């Protein structure tokens, strides 16, 4: 790979790590949570509870996966 290719890859990797972090599923979960909130709010239903429920479930799921990964070593 050329020097520019390596730099570009490093730049992309930095921003991926900066924004997405250790578990990409958390970032996907956030998008799902806010999209679901928007859908519920669009139907004029109370939507404030959707994001907290989804986000805390996503956090719990991510922790379970981390625990399983630690057990496998």
Interface residues with another protein (CB under 8 A) are: 18-23, 26-27, 29-31, 33-35, 37-38, 40-42, 46-48, 50-52, 55-56, 58-60, 62-63, 66-67, 70-71
Find the shortest distance in angstroms from Cβ 24 to another protein.
10
In order of 34, 37, 39, 40, 68, the CA distances from 43 in angstroms are 15, 10, 7, 5, 39
Find the shortest distance in angstroms from Cβ 13 to another protein.
13
Find the shortest distance in angstroms from Cβ 48 to another protein.
4
| CB neighbour class for 55 (10 Å; exposed up to 12, middle 13-18, buried from 19) | middle
């Amino acid at each position: 790979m050329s020097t520019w290719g390596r730099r570009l890859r490093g730049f992309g990797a930095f921003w991926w790590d900066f924004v997405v972090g250790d578990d990409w599923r958390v970032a996907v979960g956030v998008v799902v949570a806010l999209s679901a909130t928007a859908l519920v709010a669009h139907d004029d239903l109370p939507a404030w509870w959707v994001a907290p429920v989804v986000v805390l479930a996503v956090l719990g799921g991510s922790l379970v996966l981390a625990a399983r990964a630690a057990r496998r070593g």
